[in-house]
């Protein structure tokens, strides 16, 4: 049986003089309990208590709010609660509670799926190091959904290029490093395509920086449409973009780069004044090899191929097999 209604529903506390220090009478205790409940509501804190002798559990009203469940629908025991935890987090919660019974401490974050399908993040913290009653375990819960959403937004911003929405240089290099160490362990091959818009300075000079920005955004849009979700596209800086392709043969990587080059060469770009113009790109391609000491050397080889393409007249794809 769950321990409900510890706090009386009446307003008897209103007739009491203010409670300073620890309450001594039962009325003062009731007033104290109601005040605590109010503070919990204001600060968005819930709690649960478990009797270690009987196993009975009490959930505060705030917990029912978190769960999006009417408090009339009693949560009988911890198993009942766990059913509302996100399936991926259930094991974590069960383990944390087992640890809590052993040590008196816990500090975990997990997701709740409310009956309407909304996801809520909870932060559960318990410290039972100095309990008033050693037979009672107390744990607190706080809604941290907004905090988690902000954290996710900031994490995304930290790895994203503002102008184009692709990954920024730092994140692309990180993904390249991960892919390279995975290749060394598992042999899963990958290729880097390094694209650079040709004579981009003259686009800016002729049509203005705003149009130049739009060109970069549209180039990225085409990348997003053509490449797979699993491929990694990043803007390394200025008008230079890199793409990491997995499980491609050297010939396939060259063919994909060539397809992109042709698509971009055919694309008509327009200005607000309805002027139409075309651009071209040069691309250098490099495959991972066991001779590469680090991921930087793969990027360097792609860059050398790109440089050759620029030198040989631009608007072309250069791989190591077709270097002249």
User: What amino acid positions are annotated as catalytic residues?
Assistant: 239
Binding to ligand GTP, residues 257-316 (CB under 6 A): 310, 314
Residue 75 CA neighbour count, 13 Å, CB half: 27
Among 89, 143, 196, 292, binds ligand GTP (CB under 6 A): 196
Nearer of residues 30 and 166 to ligand GTP, judged by Cβ: 166
Binding flag, residue 163, ligand GTP (CB under 6 A): yes
Nearer of residues 71 and 218 to ligand GTP, judged by Cβ: 218
Give the per-residue SS3 of the chain.
CCCCCCCCCCCHHHHCCCCCCCCCCHHHHHHHHHHHHHHHHHHCEEEEEEECCCCCEEECHHHHHHHCCCCCCCCCCHHHHHCCECHHHHHHHHHHHHHHHHHCEEEEEEEEECCCCCEEEEEEEEECCCCCCCCEEEEEEEECHHHHHHHHHHHHHHHECCCCCCECHHHHHHHHHHHHHHHHHHCCCEEEEEEEECCHHHHHHHHCHHHHHHHHHHHHHHHHHHCCCCCEEEEEECCEEEEEEECCCHHHHHHHHHHHHHHHHHCCEECCCCCEECCCEEEEEEECCCCCCCHHHHHHHHHHHHHHHHHCCCCCEECCCCCC
CA 174/CA 309 separation, integer angstroms: 26
Binding flag, residue 199, ligand GTP (CB under 6 A): yes
Question: Among residues 162, 125, 121, which one has the least CA distance to residue 141?
Answer: 125
Q: In the complex, which residue's CB is closest to ligand GTP? A: 212
The minimum distance between CB 181 and ligand GTP, in angstroms, equals 31
The minimum distance between CB 203 and ligand GTP, in angstroms, equals 7
How many binding residues for ligand GTP (CB under 6 A)?
16
Among 57, 93, 197, 243, binds ligand GTP (CB under 6 A): 197
The minimum distance between CB 225 and ligand GTP, in angstroms, equals 21
The minimum distance between CB 175 and ligand GTP, in angstroms, equals 21
Contacting range for ligand GTP; rule: CB under 6 A; set: 54-62, 106-114, 195-203, 294-302: 195-203
Contacting range for ligand GTP; rule: CB under 6 A; set: 72-80, 180-188, 192-200, 315-323: 192-200
Nearer of residues 246 and 277 to ligand GTP, judged by Cβ: 277
Binding to ligand GTP, residues 212-231 (CB under 6 A): 212-213, 216
Site string for ligand GTP, 229-268 (x = CB under 6 A): ---------xx-----------------------------
Nearer of residues 156 and 209 to ligand GTP, judged by Cβ: 209
Binding flag, residue 204, ligand GTP (CB under 6 A): yes
Residue 99 CA neighbour count, 13 Å, CB half: 14
Q: Give the interface with ligand GTP as residue ranges (CB under 6 A).
A: 163, 196-201, 204, 209, 212-213, 216, 238-239, 310, 314
């Amino acid at each position: 049986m769950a321990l409900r209604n510890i706090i009386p529903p009446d307003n008897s506390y209103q007739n009491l003089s203010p409670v300073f220090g620890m309450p001594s009478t039962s009325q003062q205790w009731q007033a104290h309990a109601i005040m605590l409940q109010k503070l919990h509501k204001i600060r968005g804190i819930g709690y649960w208590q478990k009797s270690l002798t009987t196993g009975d559990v009490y959930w505060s009203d705030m917990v029912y709010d978190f769960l999006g469940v009417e408090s009339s629908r009693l949560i009988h025991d911890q198993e009942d609660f766990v059913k509302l935890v996100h399936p991926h987090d259930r094991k974590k919660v069960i383990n944390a509670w087992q640890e809590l019974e052993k040590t008196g401490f816990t500090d975990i974050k997990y997701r709740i799926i409310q009956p309407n399908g909304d996801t809520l993040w909870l932060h559960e913290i318990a410290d039972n190091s100095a309990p008033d009653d050693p037979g009672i375990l107390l744990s607190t819960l706080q809604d941290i959904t907004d905090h988690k959403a902000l954290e996710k937004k900031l994490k995304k911003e930290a790895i994203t290029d503002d102008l184009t929405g692709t990954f920024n240089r730092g994140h692309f290099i990180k993904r390249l490093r991960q892919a390279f160490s995975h290749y060394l362990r598992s042999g899963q091959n990958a290729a880097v395509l390094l694209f650079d818009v040709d004579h981009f300075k003259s686009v800016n000079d002729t049509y203005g920086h705003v149009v130049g920005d739009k060109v970069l955004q549209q180039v990225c849009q085409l990348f997003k449409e053509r490449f797979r979700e699993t491929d990694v596209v990043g803007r390394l800086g200025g008008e230079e973009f890199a793409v990491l392709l997995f499980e491609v043969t050297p010939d396939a990587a060259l063919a994909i780069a060539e397809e992109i080059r042709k698509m971009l060469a055919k694309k008509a770009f327009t200005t607000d004044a309805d002027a139409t113009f075309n651009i071209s790109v040069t691309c250098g391609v490099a495959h991972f090899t066991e001779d590469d000491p680090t991921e930087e050397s793969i990027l360097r080889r792609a860059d050398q191929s790109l440089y050759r393409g620029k030198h040989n007249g631009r608007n072309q794809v250069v791989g190591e097999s077709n270097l002249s």
